[in-house]
Amino acid sequence: MGCCRSSIIYDPKKFLSIDQYLKGVYTEDGSKRGEMKKRSVKINVRERVNMRQGHLYQFYEIAEVLGEGAFGCVHKGIQTTTGFEVAIKSIPKTFAKRTDDTNAIIEVEILRTLDHPNILKIKEVVEDMRNYHIITELCTGGELFAKILSMKNFSESMASGYMLQLLSALAFCHSHHVLHRDIKPENLLLQTESHDSPLKVIDFGVSNLNYDTSMLNVKQFTSIYYRAPEQFSGMCSEKSDVWSCGVILYLMLSGYLPFKGKNEKQMSESIARQELSFQGIEWENTSEEAKDLIRHMLEKDPELRWSAKEAFKHAWIQNGHSQYLLNRSISESGFKNLSRFRCSIKLKHAALEFIVSQLTHTKELYQLQEAFIAMDYNGDGRLTREELMVACLVMDYSRDEVEGILNECDANMNGYLDYTEFLTAATNWKKLMSKTKLRGTFEAFDLNRDGFINIAELKEMLSNDHNVDEDVWIEIFNEVDINKDGKIDIDEFEEAVLNKDTFR
Q: Which residues are known binding-site members for ATP?
A: 89
What span, in angstroms and rounded, lies between the C-alpha atoms of 418 and 115? Answer: 7
- Please give the single-letter amino acid code of residue 479: E
How, if at all, do strands 85-92 and 417-418 pair? unpaired
Q: How far is CA 171 from CA 285, 293, 366, 379, in A?
A: 29, 16, 22, 7
487, burial (CB in 10 Å: exposed 0-12, middle 13-18, buried 19+): middle
What's phi and psi for 86, nearest 5 deg? -140, 175
Distance CA 152, CA 158 (A): 13
Contact present, 127 and 133 (Cβ < 8 Å): yes
- What DSSP character marks residue 284? T
Using CA atoms, how far residue 284 sits from 153, 278, 367, in Å, is: 16, 9, 36
Among residues 35, 107, 40, 44, which one has the least CA distance to residue 71?
A: 107
For residue 27, report the phi and psi dihedrals to the nearest 5 degrees: -85, 175
| Measured distance CA(187)–CA(210) in Å, rounded | 21
For residue 337, what are the CA distances in angstroms to 122, 176, 408, 467, 501?
26, 30, 12, 32, 12
424, 418 Cβ separation under 8 angstroms? no
Query: For residues 46-63, b (16+ Cβ closer than 10 Å) or e, as one string?
Result: bbbbbbbeeebeebbeee
Residues placed in the known binding site: 89
Strand, helix or coil at 172? helix
Residues annotated as catalytic are 182
β-strands 417-418, 131-137: how paired?
unpaired
- Residue 66 belongs to what H/E stretch? strand 60-68
Q: Which residues contact 150 (CB under 8 A, 6 or more apart)?
A: none
Closest CA to 175 of 219, 116, 109: 116
**Count of CB atoms within 10 A of residue 467's CB?**
11
Q: Are 223 and 248 in contact (CB under 8 A)?
A: no
Query: 137 forms bridges with which residues in the sheet?
Result: 86
Reported as type and span, the H/E element at residue 443 is helix 435-445
